[in-house]
Structure 1
Amino acid sequence: MTAQALVKWNHDVQAICGRFETRYEHHPALFIGEMQRVLLGTTAVAFIRSNAHSIAKPARVRGQATDPHCFLVLQQQGQMTIEAGEQVLDMREGDLALLDSATALRMTPRGLFSHVSIHLPRAALRHVGPSAYGKLMTTGLCGQLLSNLVRQVAGDQLRHWSCAADGQGLQNAVLALLEPVLNYPRAEQPGNLQRREIEALIQQKLSSTRLSPAHLADELRVSVRHLYRLFDAEGDSLCRYIHRQRLLKAATDLRDPACAHRSITDIGIAWGFADSAHFSKAFKKYAGHSPRDYRTLHRRQGQGGH
């Protein structure tokens, strides 16, 4: 790449997301910047991947045209710090955040990252106070539904179903789920952590190969031993729980006709398995069938076969 790549990247980001400026301090040939805008119905979704050193925009100045969008962001890969107004957000893989485009925003990635941003109209969130923006907790029912929906969008599982009649359907579904999520408690004190909070965080991180007890303990700022005790107390194991949830998610995708176009390897990797051989061995032990046979069996059952 040349210096023109950074110029084009800035142009694309500003056209899709607003008045952001990107800074990259190394040789231009090493810059990575990929931006794609997709419409699902009439809802705009931005797929972003870059190794920029910072991506920032100023707050809206009185008298300027209003920034029309807020962004529901899923951190897919990598880590970054987001300064959003007076908040500082530590974004790790699987985190969800709601960002207000009218405030000053500065994203400082730690290496290569990718995230997905669903654009929501600021007018639909005008009743939301500044304190509601930031990282989102997904410990409740609506939080889990919202998290799963955004992951389907991020995994590009919905684009081939999208049609003109969908209109604002995705936007309306996200806003309806977001309403109760914004009323969830922001965080629990470490000493008061309950298993459901840990399970919700695990669900957010399931697709990451980096998910581990040590990673969770670091994120929650508790000891690994404390996490183990919470699961041991109910006759379970933290590692077994993570493994089981990944296999459950993979099984759901293998049964889902909407995922028929996805390869078995892709599904395994999407749920945190390092390679197809590891996934196939673990899945056969779990389900009694290889992933391929499991998919074929359920496809026949869905068609009324025997």
Structure 2
Amino acid sequence: MNPTSLVTPTAPTDLDYEAFRSTAVDQFVPLQVTSDRPDAFHGRMHGSVLDDVHVVDIGATAHTVERTPDLIARGGADRYKVTMQLAGRGLLVQDGREAVLEPGDLAIYDTGRPYSLIFDEATRILVFMFPRRLVDLPVDSVGELTSVRFPGDRGVGAIVGPLLRRTADPAQQRSRATASRLTYGALDFVTTLLSDELDQRSDPRDPHAALVRRIRAYIDDHLGDADLDPGQIASAHYISTRHLHGLFQGQGTTVAAWIRSQRLERCRRDLLDPVFADRSVGAVAARWGLHDAAHFSRIFKATFGLAPSEHRQSARR
């Protein structure tokens, strides 16, 4: 195997206070890191980057991390971060909620809104940072779950936590294709964790919430249908197109935008998957209902910053 095709995590690096602050910004988004004892501060950080997914293992003495409105204005406001507490205890604060995290616990937060992470003792955490589009849920729905503790010893969290940890194992050297499938598969499990929590919180007697879930599932099942449109979706659920548009507006998006985003994400993954390496870019797009090759290339590049063929080549580097 060509060594350049491997995804190899960086080696752990010992960091003093100033180096830790600088490295945190380099690895993530603009952040403010403070410590009551900067002279005695000690940290270690190592991770890897695959496409636009950052995976970082962080250990440090007591400190606080803040994302303020001024820092948000400097960039990186379109990402989620999932943290897994590995050692010590942490406090996550966002959207008026506080989550006390013990080893094994998980939580999600949004870089587009202020948050704080407070560690009053030596700690170790694993952080996944990735674009919001990789979670197949409306931003408003995920916003209900920021700074919520997902226990790592029961429920879906007991499945997702070990998977995230193994996916980020720094001892592993994996091909880009393998790393891609593992990483995006792990993020699919994160979506499952969030969906499960939303389902548990929803009122089973609420027909509105149940309808939205059925419609999203219907869209997922019919993404390969080139004729999928609001009329078809509304008819399949015995509602008017006006009602359908209202449901998606309440989720902070539109029907067309949701369908397009889901199709593009499926195409992006297929282009990296060696299973589909013998298929043309046009065939991959058509598999997900996008039959106009020129239009597909334009919207793909506008969304991901690379042409489909360039994205496919990136998996072979």
Alignment-derived partner of residue 15 in structure 1:
26
- Residues 251-298 of structure 1 show CA distances to partners (whole Å, capped at 9, x for unaligned) of xxxxxxxxxxxxxxxxxxxxxxxxxxxxxxxxxxxxxxxxxxxxxxxx
Alignment-derived partner of residue 174 in structure 1:
186
Amino acid corresponding to residue 134 of structure 2 in structure 1: A
Deviation, structure 1 residue 179:
2.2
The 1:127/1:81 distance shift into structure 2, 3 A limit, reads: same
Alignment match of 1:121 (pick from 119, 131, 134): 131
Match runs of 1:252-263 below 5 Å: none
- Residues 149-178 of structure 1 show CA distances to partners (whole Å, capped at 9, x for unaligned) of 113145545x22x11223632332123212
Residue pair 1:41, 1:169 contacting (<8 A) in 2 also: no
Amino acid corresponding to residue 185 of structure 2 in structure 1: A
The 1:65/1:41 distance shift into structure 2, 3 A limit, reads: closer
TM-score (norm 2): 0.50
Provide the C-alpha distance between the structure 1 equivalents of 2:72 and 2:18, rounded to a whole number of angstroms: 28
Alignment-derived partner of residue 132 in structure 1:
145
TM-score (norm 1): 0.52
The 1:91/1:104 distance shift into structure 2, 3 A limit, reads: same
**Secondary structure class of the residue paired with 1:81:** strand
Residue pair 2:53, 2:131 contacting (<8 A) in 1 also: no
Amino acid corresponding to residue 126 of structure 2 in structure 1: V
Deviation, structure 1 residue 32:
0.9
The 1:8/1:66 distance shift into structure 2, 3 A limit, reads: closer
Amino acid corresponding to residue 31 of structure 2 in structure 1: F
The 1:55/1:121 distance shift into structure 2, 3 A limit, reads: same
Alignment-derived partner of residue 147 in structure 1:
161
Alignment-derived partner of residue 25 in structure 1:
36
Alignment-derived partner of residue 258 in structure 1:
none
Match runs of 1:260-271 below 5 Å: none
Alignment-derived partner of residue 248 in structure 1:
none
Alignment-derived partner of residue 6 in structure 1:
17
Match runs of 1:98-247 below 5 Å: 98-125=108-135, 127-129=138-140, 130-134=143-147, 135-137=149-151, 139-140=154-155, 142-153=156-167, 155-156=169-170, 159-160=172-173, 162-166=174-178, 168-185=180-197
- Residues 18-74 of structure 1 show CA distances to partners (whole Å, capped at 9, x for unaligned) of 11111112251x111212122368742111111133111114778653424311111
Residue pair 2:104, 2:151 contacting (<8 A) in 1 also: no
Residue pair 2:92, 2:100 contacting (<8 A) in 1 also: yes
Residue pair 1:60, 1:67 contacting (<8 A) in 2 also: no
Alignment match of 2:44 (pick from 20, 31, 34): 34
Residue pair 2:88, 2:124 contacting (<8 A) in 1 also: yes
The 1:91/1:137 distance shift into structure 2, 3 A limit, reads: closer
Percent sequence identity over matched residues?
15
TM-align CA RMSD: 3.0
Provide the C-alpha distance between the structure 2 equivalents of 1:53 and 1:174, rounded to a whole number of angstroms: 29
Residue pair 1:56, 1:107 contacting (<8 A) in 2 also: yes
Residue pair 2:90, 2:119 contacting (<8 A) in 1 also: yes
Residue pair 2:31, 2:66 contacting (<8 A) in 1 also: yes
Alignment-derived partner of residue 89 in structure 1:
99
Q: Mind listing any 5+ residue stretches in structure 2 that lack a counterpart?
A: 1-14, 201-317
The 1:144/1:111 distance shift into structure 2, 3 A limit, reads: closer
Residue pair 1:22, 1:52 contacting (<8 A) in 2 also: no
**Secondary structure class of the residue paired with 2:21:** helix
Deviation, structure 1 residue 110:
2.2
Provide the C-alpha distance between the structure 1 equivalents of 2:16 and 2:72, rounded to a whole number of angstroms: 33
Amino acid corresponding to residue 47 of structure 1 in structure 2: D
Amino acid corresponding to residue 145 of structure 1 in structure 2: I
